[in-house]
């Protein structure tokens, strides 16, 4: 059983009391209790997640879906899961989630099958990753709908890059997104890539300017042999040679049948549906 400091216990108690009254008033209690707790104990997240299996998912699109897939896979292998509600992906939301599951966290040892799977907002990844010390970080993709908050895609990429520098966990990146793929440079021994199989790529129109088409490292315009959508595709830089890495996990087919999405995946030459 874990032993917390008096400061941590006071922060947890304050959050619980606030959560109780918010629910009495019919208010949502997904972030405010955690916000108060973090004001009382800035190291709360690190204390509650110490020595736990932590999985983080960040990126512009697909965070919630990716978290659900990870949770399903882990549960199928016998893990108990703690995960944050969609949208509660800042520090306050994570703190509230952890406090709500404090009893489960306290009685679990590192050898138990417990996994913490969290969706993280890109703007806060650099701040939260050092506290959570993830075993695995997944970056889905980076698109321009974050410009109103981050200014440009390169800045978004740099925020995530800073967060990845904070630990030595495994990293899973989108091979088709050059911004994501560039995060592997200098970390090659702990990176896996996922991507769309060649038959899923479309021809790139001649002279087509992709959504974010300048090389991260030299500023040259990328050449595309095929595209998925936006700036995702088989890219290569004619100046410095940086190009789409070979995916470790390939998405080879998808079948939408009613409400069910079936995926065909290829891993190291073996195909599974």
The 10s digit of each residue's pLDDT in 108-144 is: 666 789 999 999 999 999 999 999 999 999 999 998 7
Considering the chain, what is the average pLDDT of its residues?
Answer: 87
Report how many domains make up the chain.
Answer: 1
Confidence of residue 157 (pLDDT cuts 50, 70, 90): very high
Please provide the distance, in angstroms rounded to a whole number, between the alpha carbons at the two ends of the chain.
40
Whether residue 165 is contained in a domain is answered as: no
Q: Is residue 203 part of a domain?
A: yes
Q: Is 269 within the bounds of a domain?
A: yes
Name the residue among 241, 244, 247, 242 with its Cα closest to residue 233.
Answer: 244
Q: Which residue has the tokens 């990429």?
A: 157
Closest Cα partner for 54 from 113, 118, 1?
118
Structural domain includes residue 172: no
Domain for residue 76, yes or no? no
- Does 81 fall in a domain? no
The enclosing H or E element of 148 equals helix 147-150
Q: Residue 261 is part of which domain span?
A: 193-273
Tell me, yes or no, whether 47 lies in a domain: no
273 belongs to a structural domain: yes
The residue whose two tokens read 């695995």 is 136
Burial per residue of 173-205, b for 16 or more beta-carbon CB atoms within 10 angstroms, e otherwise? bbbbbbbbbbbbeeeeeebbbbbbeeeebeebe
Question: Can you read off the two tokens belonging to residue 89?
Answer: 């992906």
* Chain segment 173-213, per-residue pLDDT in tens: 999 999 999 999 999 999 999 998 876 667 666 555 455 57
pLDDT digits (tens, 9 = 90+) for 221-238: 999 988 888 889 999 999
């Amino acid at each position: 059983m874990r032993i917390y400091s008096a400061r941590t216990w006071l922060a947890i108690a304050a959050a619980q009391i606030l959560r109780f009254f918010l629910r009495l008033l019919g208010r949502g209690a997904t972030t405010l209790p955690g916000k108060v707790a973090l004001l009382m104990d800035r190291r709360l997240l690190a204390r509650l997640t110490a020595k736990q299996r932590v999985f983080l998912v960040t990126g512009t699109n697909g965070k919630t879906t990716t978290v659900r897939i990870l949770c399903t896979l882990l549960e199928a292998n016998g893990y108990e899961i703690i995960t944050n509600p969609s949208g509660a992906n800042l520090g306050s939301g994570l703190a509230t989630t952890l406090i709500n599951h404090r009893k489960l966290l306290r009685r679990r040892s590192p050898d138990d099958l417990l996994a913490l799977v969290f969706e993280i907002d890109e703007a806060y990844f650099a701040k939260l990753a050092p506290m959570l010390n993830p075993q695995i970080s997944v970056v889905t993709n980076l698109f321009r709908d974050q410009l109103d908050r981050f200014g440009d895609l390169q800045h978004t990429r740099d925020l995530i890059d800073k967060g990845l520098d904070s630990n030595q966990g495994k990293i899973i990146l989108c091979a088709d997104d050059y911004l994501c793929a560039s995060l592997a440079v200098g970390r090659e021994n702990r990176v896996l890539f996922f991507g769309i199989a060649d038959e899923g790529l479309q021809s790139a129109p001649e002279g087509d300017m992709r959504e974010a088409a300048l090389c991260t490292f030299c500023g040259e315009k990328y050449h595309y042999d095929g595209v998925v959508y936006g700036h995702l595709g088989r890219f290569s830089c004619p100046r410095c040679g940086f190009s789409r890495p070979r995916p470790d996990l390939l998405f080879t087919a998808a079948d939408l049948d009613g409400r069910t999405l079936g995926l065909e995946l290829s891993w190291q030459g073996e195909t599974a549906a």
